[in-house]
Amino acid sequence: MVKIIVDNEKCTGCGSCVETCPVEVFEIKDEKSVPVKVEECLVCRACEAQCPESAIQVIE
């Protein structure tokens, strides 16, 4: 199963990953991105590519 890791040290809570993900995997909680629906992930890696802080890792 795919794992999604968000580095809370790097994440600024900008919300860009929430907008980018086609299947709404992410939510912002306490100004950090949290992958709440990992089971929906399509492994398109758009979130990884677009995060301005390189805070997201998608691991297969």
User: Is 16 one of the binding residues for ligand SF4 (CB under 6 A)?
Assistant: yes
Q: Which two tokens stand for residue 60?
A: 């297969």
User: Is 44 one of the binding residues for ligand SF4 (CB under 6 A)?
Assistant: yes
Question: Shortest Cβ distance from residue 37 to ligand SF4 (Å)?
Answer: 8
User: Is 42 one of the binding residues for ligand SF4 (CB under 6 A)?
Assistant: yes
| DSSP state for residue 32 in the 8-state scheme | E
Phi, psi of 24 (to 5 degrees): 55, 50
Whole-angstrom distance, CA of residue 30 vs CA of residue 32: 6
Which CB atom, from 30 or from 55, has the smaller least distance to ligand SF4? Answer: 55
